[in-house]
Structure 1
Amino acid sequence: MNAAAEAAVTATEVVLPGKVAPSGLRLAQRALPAPAAGQALVRVESTAVSFAESAMRRGRYYGQPSFPFVPGYDLVGIVEAVGPGVDHALVGRRVAALTKTGGWTTAALLTAADLVEVPDGIGPDEAETLIVNGLTAYQMLQRSAKVRAGQTVLVLGAAGGVGSVLVQLALDAGARVIGTANPRHHEALRALGVEPIDYGRPDLAARVRELAPAGVDAVFDHLGGASVTLSYRLLNRTGTLVSYSIAAKLDDTRPVLLDFLPLLAKLTFWNYLPSRKHASFYDVWAGAGKPDSAKREAFRARMRTDLTHVFDLLRDGRLTAKIAARFPLSEAAAAMELAESSGRTNLGKIILAP
């Protein structure tokens, strides 16, 4: 396709029509116009299923759009055309994008300034595993908790999409890593260098204290709810708790704010105690600001710097892409069912390949 696309492109996309089971997802086609000023048309090569989509189909992701909409938190693809004001050298390049929604499609019109180039030598599926997951893991580890070599960290859900990247980044930084996971994942985690604990054992806290009697330097908690209190108690005197989801409340039926606001209040309250511990909630979109604002430019620069660094670690072999399974886009329902299955046996991210 030429840089200045004249004809409309027809995209096949997965639509989430409302609060439905995965089987309620439907395929649709939509004509995309040529890129407008500042836009790029991206042919999607890889996208994925994340926790966000599972929350959104239940109407439990804070800030999600009104139904119906196209899910898909991130994507990797090739730039097919660009609009006025965008460097034509971008055409033909593989790029990554953090989208929040809209990624489950064969083609997308995106703001060119939001795109991050994927280094040569990295395939689309491998890059896809590290966009929201890698960015989240890296920023929590380095910008929130500031983990250093020699410290001990506890990662809840160490076999999940974010967890499987987080443990690798922590080990690469020289930290000791304790990770909770289903026992079926323990062998794979040990091979990475993680000290695994069965997430379902009733004496989990006691086991962590056996491994780290003085407490851990950081805990990364995706569960929310009562879990964060336990996580905070497992910190040492100067430790940091980073909460980044409320997965334990996924199936609640009450408004999500009724779970989210008490969590934020608890984390804030702990920071006012006469203690050197610290607690925070991580949001990958924090500080994004409004489009075309100075805050948005700073957010883009930070995202590009951090994601490029994570891609470089992958290219250099210091990080391994963990792909749990791969489905065609037309089988998004089956991919989501696997992602939400208690019997899931693979470690890493579930890829959708348009």
Structure 2
Amino acid sequence: MASSTVTTQATQVVLPGKVDSSGLQVRTSELPAPGAGQVVLRMDATGVSFAEQQMRRGKYYDQPPFPFVPGYDVVGTVTAVGPGVDGALAGRRFAAVTKIGGWASSLVLEAADLVPVPDGVDPAAAETVVVNGITAWQMLHRAAKVPEGGTIVVLGANGGVGSTLVQLARHAGIRVIGTASLQHHDSVRELGAIPVNYRDPDMYQRIREIAPEGVHAVFDHVGGAGLAESWRLLRRGGTLVSYGTAATKNEDGNSRLPVLKSFGRLLVWNLLPNGKSATFYNFWAGKRRLADFRARLAEDLTQVLRLLAEGVLTAQIAGRFPLSEAGAALALAESRTVLGKVVIVAQPHP
């Protein structure tokens, strides 16, 4: 049974090709009725992740061909349900990871991909911890399994994933050393981390001075030449978690090559007899077993949203932009000046 507010049209932001952030296009498209097992979700908030920044340059590992609607995750309200979906979902707020398609006023999703957002949580706040929160939670608790009392390094502690990771680690009783530009040191310190200037040419030496015996884990989204320095920071039994290749995002060439290079280095390091381990975190790992993947994602996101609702996590919103200004939102996210995540919200009603 569908709700009475079925959406027939949607405003979408389109990435037409390798363009500047000002080259995004806005279009109105017919939205199909939800099929079996599907819902229509009205977007309340979406956001700009590092993935969209790479997609704009054609550099995301497995992005679809241009043109397409970007938008890695979304928080919204169900306005219609398809056959086989409980009508009680209509009017309730959910979060979902979409990979693409989130930059739209409404979209059709599989009901099985929805995760409930706790009552009273602002949708923009919830948006900051969807893909970022799942990523941070899984890297910390599933990939690295850092013990209470351990010490970790978070590169880019002011970023969307980094700021969430710092808070989750501190809540788990883990000491955090976080790299950031000087302008964000006070904020990183307030999150609970020991800040280190990432522009300091002796940054890794500064980290060694803070943790002379090495650290239990390094979370590195930068990749490139610095990956070896991150590996050297580990103590015996420590884990390097690589989850991006930001160092090469502006370079031309094959989008898969930097990832494959990093993956190869991590494999070689894992063969060394020094007790350390290295892994490349892939958000979509295990999706071939879809039911298990969905269950794990829902479990982890539910934990993060609960912590947000309880006030353990503080949403780091770097800016809010209406959907029509998605280009400006993307430009701000790419400026490397922000703390937290840039959020895109629904257009205000006239």
Q: TM-score, normalised by structure 2?
A: 0.97
Give the conservation status (yes or no) of the 8 Å contact 2:7–2:106: no
Selected match of 2:343 from 328, 340, 351: 351
Instruction: Give deviations 1:208-261, integer Å, cap 9, x for gaps.
Output: 110000101000000011121100000001100000000111011010222111
Q: Residue in 2 aligned with 1:332?
A: 326
Q: TM-score, normalised by structure 1?
A: 0.96
Selected match of 1:306 from 300, 307, 320: 300
State the 1:263 CA deviation: 0.7
Give the conservation status (yes or no) of the 8 Å contact 1:155–1:177: yes
Matched position secondary structure for 2:157:
coil
**252-261 vs 76-85, which moves further:** 252-261
State the 1:33 CA deviation: 2.0
CA distance in 2 between partners of 1:198 and 1:122 (Å): 33
Q: Residue in 2 aligned with 1:240?
A: 239
Q: Residue in 2 aligned with 1:292?
A: none
Structure 1 vs Structure 2 CA RMSD: 1.1
Q: Runs of at least 4 residues of structure 1 off by over 3 A?
A: 4-8
In the alignment, residue 345 of structure 2 is paired with which amino acid?
A: A
In the alignment, residue 349 of structure 1 is paired with which amino acid?
A: K
Instruction: Give deviations 1:91-110, integer Å, cap 9, x for gaps.
Output: 11100010000000000000
CA distance in 1 between partners of 2:121 and 2:7 (Å): 30
CA distance in 1 between partners of 2:279 and 2:5 (Å): 48
CA distance in 2 between partners of 1:45 and 1:276 (Å): 46
CA distance in 2 between partners of 1:184 and 1:114 (Å): 38
Give the conservation status (yes or no) of the 8 Å contact 1:189–1:195: yes
Structure 1 portions without partners, runs of 5+ = 290-294
Q: Residue in 1 aligned with 2:135?
A: 136
In the TM superposition, 1:201-350 aligns within 5 A as 201-289=200-288, 295-342=289-336, 344=337, 346-350=338-342
CA distance in 2 between partners of 1:298 and 1:176 (Å): 32
Structure 2 portions without partners, runs of 5+ = none
Q: Residue in 2 aligned with 1:196?
A: 195
Give the conservation status (yes or no) of the 8 Å contact 2:78–2:92: yes
Instruction: Give deviations 1:279-309, integer Å, cap 9, x for gaps.
Output: 00001111011xxxxx100000000000000
Give the conservation status (yes or no) of the 8 Å contact 1:14–1:25: yes
Instruction: Give deviations 1:79-125, integer Å, cap 9, x for gaps.
Output: 00110111111111100010000000000000110111111121100
Q: Percent identity?
A: 57
CA distance in 2 between partners of 1:159 and 1:283 (Å): 21
Matched position secondary structure for 1:64:
coil
In the TM superposition, 1:45-64 aligns within 5 A as 45-64=44-63
Q: CA distance change for structure 1 residues 141 and 7 in 2, over 3 Å: closer, same or farther?
A: closer
Give the conservation status (yes or no) of the 8 Å contact 1:15–1:26: yes
Give the conservation status (yes or no) of the 8 Å contact 1:4–1:34: no
Q: Residue in 1 aligned with 2:19?
A: 20
State the 1:6 CA deviation: 8.9
Give the conservation status (yes or no) of the 8 Å contact 1:47–1:351: yes
**239-248 vs 5-14, which moves further:** 5-14
